[in-house]
Amino acid sequence: MRHKASPLSLVLLGAGVFLLVLAPLLVWYVQPHAKRTPIDIDTTTVFTGTGSYFDTSEVETVEGRTITITRQVRGDVADSEKSGNAVWDVSTSVDHQGTLPASDPRDALQWTLERWVTDRVTNEPVHCCEESPTFDGEAYLKFPFDVEERSYRWWDSTLGGVVRLSYAGEQEVQGYSGLLFKGEVEPTRTGVRQVPGLLVGKKKIPQVLAEEWYSNSGIELVVDRRTGRIMNAAIGPRKTLRAPGSTKDAVVLLESKRVEFTEETQRRQVELASADSDRLAMLGTTAPAGAAGLGGVLTVAGVVLVVRGRRTEPEAPNTHMMTIPHT
């Protein structure tokens, strides 16, 4: 009897082997390549809250006003591809109602333009590509992938230094669960500014180098566990001026107990976090598990059919006849 495997058994066996090979490839190759900080980012986040600021037109601090912080992040794709890192240009403006909408960010209460460069896999700072300022830490505009329930070193641009943020449990943002991190900044001298002496209580001195001080009564960040994206942020900044060598604030430049992502910004951040998280979960868990499971079933089925269900064909009769020699 001559045996021949059926086409179906070969198809099942081939598909099963393919899926078994695909499963580890998704985990070890495809998913790690997907788990990288994007370079073509173009996002805007907006904080709002009530607070005080120094009004230059009235030469005094006004209170109970709406304060808006707008941060725009754009990836420099060309420099990112050239360096292999994530190169982001970050514009941050602090406005009051009188400077919004701002056609020129230089009209704002405060405006900064920075360039941040990070490793796309580890999120560690990379000091290249005209980075400005030189920064440190492990969490910035985002946290590393696969956020852990521990403390993180977060870079505060206003402070010009690192702040320790402690893990404070889980918290929902727009119905989506994230990890909450909290911290604060004690009053710290951050620089000097030349101002009229009268402004800081030095009436007899026309101009003095007043000390700039900064503190933050509460930093709260809610972060997506898998992607490290910040879904909500709230801060309590206070910036003041002091006379040289003084231990007391003379002028409040900016203060708010709490400025926080607007609901629109929260929704957008949650949408992005959810989509990216689902994609990474599919590549790292769902798809490999499904491929391995289905591949195993198809392989077994194919082998069974090859062994037991091959089509059997009868052998052709032997038509060769013995020749009897003539005598």
How far is Cα 126 from Cα 140, in angstroms, rounded to an integer? Answer: 13
How far is Cα 179 from Cα 28, in angstroms, rounded to an integer? Answer: 27
Q: Are strands 152-156 and 176-196 parallel, antiparallel or unpaired?
A: unpaired
Cβ atoms of 119 and 39 within 8 Å: the answer is no
> What are the sequence ranges of the domains in the chain?
1-33, 35-277
How far is Cα 289 from Cα 292, in angstroms, rounded to an integer? Answer: 5
Mean pLDDT of the chain: 83
Burial 115-135 (b: 16+ CB within 10 A, else e): ebbbebeebebbeebebeeeb
For residue 295, what pLDDT is reported? 53
Angle at 59 between CA 100 and CA 200, to 5 degrees: 125
How far is Cα 225 from Cα 147, in angstroms, rounded to an integer? Answer: 5
Q: pLDDT category, 303, cuts 50, 70, 90?
A: low
> Containing H/E element for 326?
none
For residue 324, what pLDDT is reported? 44
Q: pLDDT category, 98, cuts 50, 70, 90?
A: confident
Contact residues for 288 (Cβ-Cβ < 8 A; gap 6+) = 23, 24, 26, 27
For residue 220, what pLDDT is reported? 98
Residues 162-194 pLDDT 10s = 999 999 999 999 999 999 999 999 999 999 999
What beta strand segments (E) does 119-160 contain?
152-156
Higher pLDDT, 57 or 159: 159
Judged against a pLDDT cut of 50, whether residue 291 lies above it is answered with: no
Quote the percentage of the chain above a pLDDT of 90: 64
Start-to-end CA span in the chain (Å): 39
For residue 57, what pLDDT is reported? 80
Q: In degrees rounded to 5, what are phi and psi of residue 144? A: -65, 165
The type of residue at 232 is N
Q: What pTM was estimated for this model as a whole?
A: 0.79
For residue 103, what pLDDT is reported? 61
